[in-house]
Structure 1
Amino acid sequence: MNFEAATLDDLMHDVFEHILNHGHNNNASKGPNIEVLGCELRLTNPIARVSRTESRGLIFSCLGELFWYLSGSNDGCHIAKYIPKYGTFVEDDGSIHGGYGKRLFNMHEKYDQIKRVIEQLKIGTGTRKAVIQLFDSSDLAEDYKDIPCTLNLQFVVRNKKLHMFTMMRSNDAYIGLPHDIFVFTMLQEMLAKELECGLGIYHHYVASLHIYNKNINSAKRFINEGFQATDSIMDEMPCIGFFSIRNELLKFESEIRHGIDLNINELDLCDYWKDILRLLQFYNKKESGNFQDLRYASEVRKKITNKKYQGLINNRERIKKSKAIKKIEGNNMQKRFDNISDIISGIEAFEHEQFKLAGLQRVENYISLSMQITDSIRRIRFIEEINKKHISEHRKNPHSDIFDPLRAAWLHIRENNKNEAYWLIFLATHFGKHKKEGWKLCADIYGGLGEELWTWNRVSHNPNDFSLWFRKASIEIKKNKPQRKFGNHRKYESLNYNSSRPLQTVVQTYVDWVGVSKDHETRFLDLSNSNNVNNKYELFDVAYKSMKGILSFGRTAKFDYLTMLRKFSLQNIEPQNLYLSGATGPKRGTSFLFFGNKDSNYSVEELNQNLNLLAEYLPIDILSSQVLEDALCNWQKSPSAYRYFGG
């Protein structure tokens, strides 16, 4: 069967379709497959050797394999850096028996076959002896883990063009074919430049061309991506002979692979080879997962001069987005996460323009964080949404089973009783909503255990009366069955009147914080005027710091209370950072996101700076810092598997 195309994508498209439609089942040593026998593939433009598709745009692994061959080595560690599956083929001595590098440049420890082919073609361009033998009879003498699939390579110059013929005993069309064509056509072009002739057709002959059953669906997805653009991603190789700079390039690749920082800009090379090295450097830095390396990789990426490489990298990274959305669709959660595409696009843009996020190198982590951010946005929007609906008057009544301090706050705002709304929000923040008991503890205190309500007017003018009442009430509350409990974030608080942080003192210090006016809006106005506040971020910061005197109202409580005032439109304030000093979950989540380590030693200032930068890329139009604080706190508990947290 003959196939001919101008690009690798078109060639693979035709090959995959033919194998899937006309192939026959075969059981081979590496697994069941569908194969066709006796195929010739012709690539009329060998420079169009890189796939533009998301699934087969394998530029990094292809370049890694190319430099492995060119090194003349069969070292298993070298290629495993780029293609980890090669690790299964490593022999006891650390080599891969079937590797082509040593066979190309040092066959039988004495033949440099590349050199001899060049010599043959320079002596007589009409020669038919320019053949490189890769498969050897000795390959069958022992049970090696890997033997060459390629039998030989032949080079023929006709009409001042170098044509190449590759003969293969076996070829995995989905995995191996794009790598083989890339490496061999690069070799073809290198020799053409060395011989100062044009680039002819690349011929690829295969006895058994197959797709393994495990890759059938992937091959179908490749076909469904449709036909790609026909122009080549790679530029034509420069005229200067590759072999004159081979040793330099191999040295640079080795330094990159071993983590040595190489300033490629200063190398005495043309942009073609600098970009090749930048691609290798980008890949190696990105794969390390180290925060500094990820930032380095982002800077390297920006310096790549061939913009088509940039597009190829973008296509590869969009795989994360498609996998995330497919996972969500598969779990029937598309309605709940209908805006996740925008979240993912924002993270992608950040990684493209800034630096890679160390905690998102696994697709599962990427999906989980995107879903947590979406959840957090929805939780914040929930406060606004409940105000759009009818709210029963019973929600204000703490003696009612459906009492809800947050819905009650909205009712008081509608009645212009804003001080009561502030007070209810404070109580809701301090007590929290218990997973099983709900708002019952808040209702008991606010409702005076079924007697007169402890409204803001009453408690602010009579805090001592509240203290006397609570001395007796604390005993009664403990008798309740089931036991009244604080919400999750407040679970270490106590209802003991004689505790180190008793409720009566919490209330007294809150009343003192509001001040002698007993009016919350006056308090915020005083804070603004006395501190020369210029914007909503400064007012939040001033208010946050001013609340340090409120007993048992730490970092989380202050942050939640003040952001809640913004959600109720009581104050136009907003945090400019996450106030990570003293935080646990949010700080661990932030550290893991940027540095891949929940307990990194990076400063709070640097963590906040990075988060503010990330927030600019995300479609969050209100309280972006709280969204990220909530999302990262939940995400770090289960980075690779999404779990719903009620908040």
Structure 2
Amino acid sequence: MLTTPEFTSVEGAYLALLRLATEDAEHHISARGNDAREVIGVGFRLTNPRQRLPYIAERKANPVFQFAEALWYLAGRRDLDMIGYYAPSMRASSVDGIRLGGSAYGHALFSTNGSTKQSQFDQVMELLLTEPDSKRGYLPVFKAKELADHNNPDVACLAGLHLLPRDGHLHVVCNMRANDLDCGLLSDVFSFTMIQEYAAIQLGLELGTYTHFIGSAHVNDRNAERVKRVLAEADSRPTVPSFAFPAMPAGTEGATIAHVLMHEEALRTNQLRYSAEHIRGLGLDPYWQQVLMLFELYRQVQHDQTMAFDPGVLAALDPGLRWLMERKWPACAAAAAGGAK
């Protein structure tokens, strides 16, 4: 009998776990200076892992960062140059100010081994292509040696991802040693389901279920007021916003990720600025065009310090992404709407 709660989207799982940790916390902990309410050993299953974004106005989810982090992982990177631009707070977890350690999950999964010239991910893909019912497709991330330095500020929260091809679908089980339910959970599920979808494409499979298990599921006390507002909105809204998240293109491969990141770097370093028409002419699938639209809007915020988004770029976003950007940067979006009239 299935005992793991099922949800059609990450939003449902997010709200359920927030409610559990705030209303029925098992422990009040203080780990590394972070006071938090905690429940131990919880999990959930997503029946549609593509629905990986929450549409809650109070939460102000940032799709720019979500895509940036997922691409950073898929490229096997660990540098702060890229991810620190989208999330400056992550710089505090770096020992040398140049790279990240345990939280650079993509480096553990996708960087190539010097002797085999294969990444962990490549090895698991090779295994699952030859043994489709294998139980061995596990990608470990957390390493015990991370605990050798008691002052290590960046120990991996992700223990590993278990890839299970069954009946023409790729299912993934994620094991977390810990999850900050208000912040980390949303980013993790977004990135890990993107990795799942990317892996399914490489294996020629349909997207299956995504199951997420957490050892320490917690809400930090410093975020308690926002969590209250999020839950209050969920309880009071007359209708729930619903936007279908598109499927990753079937031809997506490593070269696709590299192509997108080439343009991402040009925008991040302010070498180029793109109009919607320019992005449409880059030879990328519309799915990845949407990501560059987001990166261009973020470039405008960071480098142009604009008070108004480019109306053409904002209007070119899919409705769900536009809804989120309008709530993350409401003044810029409102000014863009006024300028477009």
TM-score, normalised to structure 2, is: 0.88
Aligned partner of 1:350 among 331, 335, 340? 335
CA deviation string 1:199-250 (max 9, x = no partner): 1110111100000011111111111111664744421122213334222122
Gaps of at least 5 residues in structure 1 are 321-346, 356-616, 618-647
Are 2:156 and 1:148 aligned? yes
CA distance in 2, matches of 1:169, 1:198: 28
Contact 1:50/1:232 (8 A) holds in 2: no
Amino acid at match of 1:8: V
SS of the counterpart of 1:202?
A: strand
Aligned-residue offset at 1:197: 1.3
SS in structure 1 of the partner of residue 40 of structure 2: strand
Secondary structure of the equivalent of 2:261?
helix
Aligned to 1:41: 44
User: Match of 1:18, SS?
Assistant: helix
**1:215 correspondence with 2:227:** no
Count of equivalent residues: 326
Q: Distance in 2 between matches of 1:11 and 1:351?
A: 33
Kept after mapping to 2: 8 A contact 1:3/1:14: no
Deviation at residue 165 of structure 1 after TM alignment: 0.8
Secondary structure at the aligned position of 1:170 is classed as strand
2:294 equivalent among 276, 279, 282? 279
Quick one: which of 245, 270, 273 aligns to 1:234?
Answer: 245
Task: Report if aligned partners of 1:53, 1:315 keep a CA contact under 8 Å in 2.
Answer: no
Q: Which amino acid aligns with 1:90?
A: S
Q: CA deviation at 1:76?
A: 1.6
* 2:106 paired residue among 92, 101, 105: 101
Q: How do residues 243-642 of structure 1 correspond to structure 2 at under 5 angstroms?
A: 243-261=254-272, 262=274, 263-291=278-306, 297-304=310-317, 306-318=318-330, 349-354=334-339
User: 8 Å contact 2:79–2:98 — kept in the other structure?
Assistant: yes
Larger Rg over CA atoms: 1
Corresponding letter in the other structure for 1:152: G
Of 5, 13, 20, which aligns to 2:15? 13
**1:492 corresponding residue in structure 2:** none
**Do the aligned partners of 1:77 and 1:87 also contact (CA within 8 Å) in 2?**
no
Alpha-carbon distance between aligned partners in 1 of 2:202 and 2:241, rounded to the nearest angstrom: 27
Runs of 4+ with >3 A deviation: 107-111, 227-233, 294-299
CA distance in 1, matches of 2:82, 2:285: 25
Determine if contact 1:6/1:230 at 8 Å carries over to the other structure: no
- The amino acid of 1:172's aligned partner reads D
Match in the other structure for 1:621? none
Q: In the TM superposition, what whole-angstrom CA distance separates every residue of 1:257-281 from its partner, at most 9, and x where no partner exists?
A: 1112253222111111111111122
Residue among 34, 40, 63 paired with 1:59:
63
- Which residue in 2 is equivalent to 1:517? none
1:130-180 deviation digits (Å, cap 9, x = unpaired)? 111111122122232211100111100111111001111111000100000
Measured in 1, the distance between the counterparts of 2:19 and 2:211 equals: 20
- 1:126 and 2:133 correspond: yes
Structure 2 CA distance for aligned equivalents of residues 257 and 236 of structure 1: 26
Higher-RCO chain (CA-CA 8 Å, sequence separation at least 6): 2
Which one of 50, 75, 93 corresponds to residue 53 of structure 2? 50
Change over 3 Å in CA distance of 1:271–1:19 after alignment to 2: same
Q: Which amino acid aligns with 2:328?
A: R
Aligned partner letter, 2:18: F
* Residue 387 (structure 1) aligns with: none
- Write the letter of the residue equivalent to 1:299: G
1:639 maps to: none
Q: 1:35 to 1:177 in 2, by over 3 A?
A: same
Letter in 1 for 2:8: A
Equivalent pair of 2:76/2:107 in contact (CA under 8 Å): yes
Which 5+ residue runs of structure 2 have no aligned equivalent? none
> What amino acid sits opposite 1:12 in the alignment?
Y
Deviation at 1:313, TM superposition (A): 1.6
- Alpha-carbon separation, structure 1, partners of 2:32 and 2:68: 26
Moved more, 278-287 or 199-208: 278-287
- Cα pair 2:308 2:333 within 8 Å, conserved: no
Please report the RMSD computed on the Cα atoms of aligned residues, expressed in angstroms: 2.3
Letter in 1 for 2:37: I
Where is the strand percentage greater, Structure 1 or Structure 2? 2
Q: Deviations over 1:519-542 (max 9, x none)?
A: xxxxxxxxxxxxxxxxxxxxxxxx
| 2:248 maps to amino acid | M
SS at match of 1:200: strand
CA contact (8 A) 1:42 1:204 kept: yes
**CA deviation after TM superposition for structure 1 residue 77, in Å:** 2.5
Deviations, residues 427-460 of structure 1 (Å, cap 9, x unaligned): xxxxxxxxxxxxxxxxxxxxxxxxxxxxxxxxxx
Alignment partners' CA distance in 2, 1:108 and 1:139 = 19
2:280–2:289 CA contact under 8 A, matched in 1: yes
**Which amino acid is 1:103 matched to?**
A
Partner of 1:504: none
User: C-alpha distance in 1, partners of 2:232/2:125?
Assistant: 42
Match in the other structure for 1:473: none
Provide closer, same or farther for how the CA distance between residues 90 and 297 of structure 1 changes in structure 2, counting only shifts above 3 A: farther
Matched, 1:205 2:213: yes
C-alpha distance in 1 between matches for 2:5 and 2:37:
18
Three-state SS of the structure 2 residue aligned to 1:217 is helix
Does 1:160 pair with 2:168? yes
Given the alignment, which residue of 177, 180, 189 partners 1:169? Answer: 177
- Could you list the per-position Cα deviations for residues 379-435 of structure 1 after superposition, in whole angstroms to 9, with x for gaps in the alignment? xxxxxxxxxxxxxxxxxxxxxxxxxxxxxxxxxxxxxxxxxxxxxxxxxxxxxxxxx
* 2:234 aligned counterpart, secondary structure: coil
Shift of 1:102: 1.5
Counterpart Cα distance in 1 of 2:60 and 2:165: 31
Residue of structure 2 in register with 1:90 after alignment:
94
Q: For the residues of structure 1 that align with 2:82 and 2:293, how far apart are their CA atoms?
A: 18
Cα pair distance change 1:278/1:22, threshold 3 Å: same
1:32–1:109 distance in 2 versus 1, CA, 3 Å: farther
d(CA) in 2 for partners of 1:208, 1:222:
21
